[in-house]
Amino acid sequence: MRIFVPRDSVSVALGADKLAAAIASQAAERGVEVSIVRNGSRGLFWLEPLVEVETAQGRAGFGPMTQADVPALFGDLAAHPKAVGLVEEIPFLAKQQRLTFSRCGITDPLSLADYQAHDGFKGLENARGMEPAAICAAVKDSGLRGRGGAGFPTGIKWETVRNAKAEQKYIVCNADEGDSGTFADRLIIEADPFCLIEGMAIAGLAVGATRGYVYLRSEYPLAIQILREAIVIATQAGLLPNFAMEVREGAGAYVCGEETALLDSLEGKRGMVRAKPPIPALQGLFGQPTVINNVLSLAAVPYILAEGAAAYAACGMGRSRGTMPVQIAGNVKHGGLFEIAFGITLGELINDIGGGTASGRPVKAVQAGGPLGAYFAPSQFDTPYDYEAFAARDGLIGHGGLVVFDDTMDMAHMARFAMEFCAHESCGKCTPCRIGSTRGMETLDKIMAGEKVAQNTEILRDLCETMKFGSLCALGGFTPYPVVSALNLFPEDFGATPLPAAAE
Amino acid sequence: MSHGTIDRLVYMANQISKAFAHDPEAKAVAEISDHLKKFWEKRMLAQIFHHLDEGGEGLDPLAKQAVAALQRKAQPA
Amino acid sequence: MGLIQETDYGTKPRQATALVTLTIDGESITVPEGTSVMRAAAEMGTQIPKLCATDTLDSFGSCRLCLVQIEGRPGTPASCTTPVAPGMVVHTQNSKLAKLRKGVMELYISDHPLDCLTCSANGNCELQDAAGEVGLREVRYGYEGKNHLDAEKDVSNPYFQFDPSKCIVCSRCVRACEEIQGTFALTIGGSGFNSKVSPGISEDFFDSECVSCGACVQACPTATLMEKTVIEIGQPEHSAVTTCAYCGVGCTFKAEMRGEEVVRLVPYKDGKANHGHSCVKGRFAWGYATHKDRITKPMIREKITDPWKEVTYEEAISYAADKFKQIQAEHGKDSIGGITSSRCTNEETFLVQKLIRAGFGNNNVDTCARVCHSPTGYGLVNTYGTSAGTQDFDSVDEADVILVIGANPTDGHPVFASRMKKRLREGAKLIVADPRRIDLVRTPHVEAEHHLALRPGTNVALVNALAHTVIEEGLADENFIRERCDWEEFAEWAAFIMRPENSPEATEVHTGVPAAELRAAARLYAKARNGAIYYGLGVTEHSQGTSTVIAIANLAMATGNVGRPGVGVNPLRGQNNVQGSCDMGSFPHEFPGYRHVSDDTARHILEIDWGVSLSNEPGLRIPNMIDAATDGTFLGLYIQGEDIVQSDPDTKHMISGLSAMKCVVVQDLFLNETADYAHVFLPGCSFLEKDGTFTNAERRIQRIRKVMKPKNGYADWEVTLMLAKAMGMTMEYSHPSEIMDEVARTTPSFAGVSYKALDDLGSIQWPCNEKAPTGTPVMHIDGFVRGRGKFIISDYVPTDEKTGPRFPLLLTTGRILSQYNVGAQTRRTENSIWHAEDVLEIHPFDAETRGVKDGSWVKLASRAGETSLRAKITDRVAPGVVYTTFHHPLTQANVITTDYSDWATNCPEYKVTAVQISLSNGPTEWQNEYNAHSAQARRIVPPVAAE
């Protein structure tokens, strides 16, 4: 009997380790021979810990499991109180197009054999037979855009680094996943670390880099541990000739997710945003040409090299090619990771996939793209999930996070939170962010207190302009998006009468 | 002339000699006497000549030769 | 005369040869590739508002005032961080930009005190200016929000204060400390709104690693970091460009004044030696000029045991002249002489040696360079043909491997050290040869590849072993040697250097430097694209000082490291005008321009110009003058700006020589140690009170300009002129420029130098003549000045100063950042806060075996004498080696140093003295007697009221 008990942070937090122990002791008690595989998460968080049992029909799922549910695993599985049927058939999973996350939850994250049995290292092998320029071209042709938030074409970035002349080049992976409501980086590192390693090794071949660093946030201790082990395993297996990889822990600053601040931090300095140019592709880590990509961008690469650029580019809409691992969170019934081709509408994601709010109340707003992304109201749920379509509505795909709020949420409070978040995370380098975020909080406090609302609202809007166009990096530059979108969509939460404000 | 002064001059002459000791003898003697001529004030030269006349106690052989050579040039017979 | 305003172009200039043409506000402009949009605009006269940008620092892009719009590009990029591109169309002003800038400025002012009228920066505040430029009229946020207005001031530094309530967190101070000074003392503590400039980890400025170079103060656009003198006096109203009177770096400063009161000295961006940087001495320690100790009236006395009597200049001058004439009448014309000063101007030095050669009628002139860089002159003249360093300071920017021997640049030549550290941070490699672990060995972001911690006195063995490795391992540059040097001389030298006794393995016994380490260092230097050697008094102040200079010159030639930027042999000169005073003919065997007195051509030029006949025989050196004095044949001495009692070795011998003289004339700012033995005191005048020129370590002749009337009535050259006339000479000069004209017409290497040329060019590096009308930054480019470079054999001869049972330790001496030389100037400033007394550095092992604790009074004894000072236990020095400075007269470190000196030049062996250390209760009897004598010798009888 093969039983899968996930070992990712979410499941462990929900008692997966105790569950695994309980299954083992129950089996021993019953004299049943079981092999417990600690797989990664499938990303269906409302079902975690999701235990899977291998059956002739496929893997049957049980979740969310408690220790009390363990004995029933040894009885009639179909009658198990937590049975959810075959996992592959759960609509949330069945509806997905898992190109990047194809192995997540299926394999043992640290089993090289498992990884290779599921097409692992196929992309790297192909890349080894290609000219660096051809690898870059493949990534360019796939249409892959930076999944960290900026959406810059990955292939072009690689090409720039490839063409730069230097004795040492670097691949840096940004795994400082700081956006609230996002977890895709963690999930894939914990579920399929070799995929990231393979992606980085391919990047190294493509640009001529021999060193790779993963900047991983310290809040993900399990991911750090798993990735470090995976690097050792891959290196010892001789799979990474001429490519040395290292995990470096971040220290908790949101701004270090900004690529240039991240590089400063990697160099051992205080993480401060650097002015660009020079771009990191030409003068990045230690002043050398550097590919700096998000986990999701690098993890998408093995598929592209294994199956071809066309296969990846076949998915998506417009200039948004391939799939996006959307992370649905907040007040939502079915939260988790949903990888799908670009083009699905926001409404489908929230209502059909997410199943509406967890509270059962009407959805009031969705914040897309992290804490600095704009709010969308249900009236905008027809927006297709696409970089350009979101941008046209002042929205942000970002790192793929969606946070759902029901109608009890006070949006002025959320606008203030955006400013507060910015004030808390501001590195302090540029003035609009450093002082502006604090003045923004203060001004919103005045508005919420009903103090000269019209006047202060105008000041707030001016401030948002100053921050949006004046800030050095996206932290200050995007803080206005949630604020202004909340202000525009929910003026009543800001003390304004629904009628147009009369001139004073 | 104090004892101290001539001691210093002898010491200086010997020190200069050591700096040229690696040269063949004739060249060394020429270099040393040239150095003395270039840098020593006439009182100093007179004192060292006098000292040599008195026997040149303490002067290294090379220094002695160089001082003598210079003396010959300075006071042609 | 107004206040000199330097244009701030916002970002650094670019040297690229490729040019880019773009359009800014409808005007076309062409600039070097890589130039920022901000600088391009500034060059066409458009000042884009800015706060965090300044053209001495790398662009940072934080203030967000300099935003512009560029056609075809999204957003509003910062003009300071955006490089120009061909065909770029930039708009620096429109309503969107105006609104944005106003918005940013509104945020700034929402956290800034509104006390402009009473602010020390009022009238000279970039924040104030920028607020005006962007047209900010109100701060709608009000002032009750979160702010820093109550932040506490840090007044711990004696020269400047830090008022964080006025800080706009532009990081200019932090960046200046990093990029310009290289100390990394400052950082931004906290983040976001709580960001705060912080010295170290929440220390105050005084307790932090700050070295008070002033770069942060200069970089600050507001009153946050402000000179205390400006706070006290107010903003200056006029200024003049002048040259620092401290070390041989020769920093250019603006002396900023109100009336005749100095408000501050600010480094001048166009200064070719310092490029706008400074150190704690030049920037802040100028208060000695108006110190109460300053003597401003001439004084005379019959005997040195008498008190001083204030008299008129006429009386003092004729008293001195009469005595000199009388001595000459009685003892012959060779019975008097003089000493020039490396602190005085070229013109003053020239005049003193002229007075001696033409007026006294002998060549008994010497200078303080005797005790510092005389071996440099001898060594480099004989190998290369010129008595000077081969490079300009800028050359270091192109060095790939830097070998520092016997120099401590971060203390002795701090502004150049900062340049060097910058180059090292860019990736150049460093080798340090020094008995002591000087700061450069490991300092923020700089670490020496090799620290060759040799035993004092073994320099020649060390350098020979480096050369041995070069030859043995086939690393010599044969092409260079064949082209530029005499091959046979090279072969002879190479045969010598290949002798087994010169191998690293053999010299290890003497130097204590492991052979493998030394070989690695030799390879690093020899294989460098550009290898540069910088050395200091740790090379020259030895019995084999000259031999070491020669050995260094050989090594540089053998590796082809001479004659282009980035390489060379570079003596770091101790005093502001050591180079100049030597150039001006201060040595007893040389006329100005290093022409031997026996050189008939040179002598005739001077004889015709001066209208007298000159002696063709060398005169006395300082130690020989003192010997002759004790012998009774040398009885009169005119000493300008030099304190031989404190600075020269073997103090007791020096004192007995001076005491034997009949007339000692001292010209100085203060009653110094030497003046205790003087009969005439002529008050000196500081560099702020006179016109003239100094020549720095890179042969750069620079103007000093008078910003106040001489406190003592006359410039030093005027006093020398009076003395010359009283001695019967006919000389007439109405301005120092006329003296320089005389130098130019009589000295071939100075032929093109004049005050007009200096004003036009800013500065001139000699040689300057028809062949090089604007001077010579790097020497020996097309061949050595002497023709072919000469390899001279430099045999290692161990010093006679040896340790033994009585004196088992080796003392070496040096200086410290905050103090300068004998301390006459710096001790009379707040700098003494950092270094109130000389201390003895001793290794924990040596301290332990003697029961010495940190701070204990110890007696330091050598065969020459003994003194007491406090001990500092540190592993900076190796076991067996102790170290002290000589800045304080109380310590009298030179009571300890012996009469051993360099074989060729008599430069004293300050760097090696065998000593013993024992615990003591305080100053020695000798020190107490000396102090009592000083007090007695400095009594001044007030003048009797005129009848």
Q: What pLDDT does C336 receive?
A: 97
Alpha carbon separation from C721 to A178, C297, C355, C668, C718 (Å, rounded): 78, 17, 8, 16, 5
Neighbours of C666 (CB within 10 A): 31
Write the DSSP string, A377-427. Answer: -GGGTT-BS-HHHHHHTT---TTSEEEEEETT--HHHHHHHHHHHHHHH--
Q: Is residue C476 part of a domain?
A: yes
DSSP annotation of C855 reads T
B and C: number of Cβ contacts within 8 A: 65
Q: Does domain A411-494 have CATH number 3.40.50.1970?
A: no
Among chain C, residues having any CB pair with chain A shorter than 8 Å are 59-64, 67, 75-76, 78, 80-83, 96, 99-100, 103-104, 106-108, 110-111, 140-141, 145-146, 168-169, 171, 187-188, 190-195
Residue A334 CA to residue A331 CA, distance in Å, equals 9
> Same domain, yes or no, for C340 and C399?
no
Is the separation of the CB atoms in C534 and C403 below 8 Å? yes
Judge: B39–C547 Cβ closer than 8 Å, yes or no: no
In contact, C273 and C260? CB cutoff 8 Å = no
- pLDDT < 50 stretches in chain C: 947
| C729 and C858 share one domain | no
Nearest-CA residue of chain C relative to A458?
A: C140
List every span in chain A annotated with CATH 3.40.50.11540: 112-313
Query: Going by CATH, does the domain composed of A2-94 fall within 1.10.10.10?
Result: no
- CATH 1.10.10.10 fits domain A112-313: no
Distance of CA C704 to the CA centre of its chain: 15
Count of domains in chain C? 4
**pLDDT of residue B1 exceeding 50:** no
- Please tell me the distance from the alpha carbon of residue C170 to that of residue C103, in angstroms, as a whole number: 17
pLDDT of residue A502: 44
**pLDDT at site C945:** 57
Residues C551 and C581 in one domain: no
8 Å CB contact between C480 and C556: no
Query: Which chain C residues are closer than 8 Å to A432 by Cβ?
Result: 64, 103-104, 107
Q: Are C464 and C552 within one domain?
A: yes
In a domain, C744, yes or no: yes
The beta-strand segments (E) located in A241-322 are 244-249, 290-294, 316-317, 320-321
Instruction: Tell me the three state secondary structure of residue A108.
Output: coil
Domain assignment of residue C120, yes or no: no
Residue C803 · residue C836 · CB < 8 Å: no
Give residue C941's pLDDT: 87
Chain A partners (3+ C-beta pairs within 8 A)? C
**Angle of the A132-142 helix axis to the A193-207 helix axis, nearest 10:** 120
Q: Which of C840, C119, C907, C844 is nearest to C538 (CA)?
A: C907
Alpha-carbon span C26 to C36, nearest angstrom? 17
Tell whether C421 and C560 lie within a shared domain: yes
Tell whether C171 is covered by a domain: no
Does pLDDT of A55 surpass 70?
yes
Residues C813 and C830 in one domain: yes
The ipTM (two decimal places) reads 0.94
Question: How confident is the model at residue B3, as a pLDDT?
Answer: 61
Nearest residue in C to B28, CA atom: C793
Where in chain A do CATH 1.20.1440.230 domains reside? 411-494
Closest Cα in chain C, distance from residue A471 (Å)? 7
Nearest CA in chain C to B18: C797
In this complex, which chains have at least 3 CB pairs below 8 Å with chain C? A, B
Q: Given the DSSP bridges, would you call strands C857-861 and C866-873 parallel, antiparallel or unpaired?
A: antiparallel
Place of tokens 């975690």: A48
- What type of residue sits at position A265? S
Other residues' Cβ atoms within 10 Å of the Cβ of residue C864: 19
Tell me if chain C has a CB within 8 Å of the CB of A275: yes
Residue contact B42–C899, C-beta within 8 A: no
**CATH 3.40.640.10 for domain A316-406:** no
Q: For residue C144, what is the nearest residue in chain A, using CA coordinates?
A: A442
Distances (CA, A) of C376 to A195, A304, C436, C547, C697: 65, 68, 22, 10, 11
Q: What is the pLDDT of residues A137-177, one digit of tens each?
A: 999 999 999 998 888 999 999 999 999 999 999 999 999 99
Most A CBs within 10 Å: which of C38, C50, C62, C67, as the mutation test of the A interface? Answer: C62
Whether B41 sits inside 8 A of C364 (CB atoms) is yes
CB contact under 8 A, C364 and B39: no
Q: Are residues C511 and C590 in the same domain?
A: no
Both C700 and C654 in one domain: the answer is yes
Residues of chain A with CATH 3.40.30.10: 2-94
Read off the CATH number of the domain in which C601 is found: 3.40.50.740
Q: Is residue C284 part of a domain?
A: no
CATH 3.10.20.600 location in chain A? 316-406
Residue B51 with chain C: CB contacts under 8 Å: none
C215 in Cβ contact with C166 (< 8 Å)? no
Confidence of residue A92 (pLDDT cuts 50, 70, 90): very high
Q: Does A1 touch chain C (CB under 8 A)?
A: no
**Tally of helices (H runs) and strands (E runs) in chain C:** 29, 37
Count H helices and E strands in chain B, helices first.
4, 0
Residues in B whose CB is inside 8 Å of some CB of C read 1-2, 4-5, 8, 12, 15-16, 18-19, 21-23, 35, 38-44
Same domain, C712 and C830: no
Residue C55: give the domain boundaries. 19-93
Nearest to C795 by CA among C392, C374, C501, C410: C501
Among chain C residues, CA nearest to B1: C631
* Predicted pLDDT of residue A503: 44
Task: Place A307 in a pLDDT band, splitting at 50, 70 and 90.
Answer: very high
Candidates C33, C64, C94, C105, partner chain A, best to mutate (most A CBs within 10 A):
C64
Interface test with chain C among A272, A461, A466, by most C beta carbons within 10 Å? A466
> Domain with C876 in it: what CATH number?
2.40.40.20
In A428-457, the residues whose Cβ lies within 8 Å of chain C are: 428-439, 442-443, 455
Characterize the bridge pairing of strands C809-814 and C881-885.
parallel
Contact C642, B13 (CB under 8 A): no
Q: What does the pLDDT read at residue C944?
A: 64
Q: Is B15–C496 a contact, with Cβ atoms under 8 angstroms apart? A: no
The enclosing domain of C27 has a CATH number of: 3.10.20.740
In a domain, C135, yes or no: no
CATH value at residue C477? 3.40.228.10
Identify all chain C residues contacting B18, using CB atoms and an 8 Å cutoff.
795, 797, 903
pLDDT of residue A504: 44
Q: What is the pLDDT, as a whole number, of residue B76?
A: 58
pLDDT(A280) > 70: yes
pLDDT computed for residue A360 by the predictor: 96
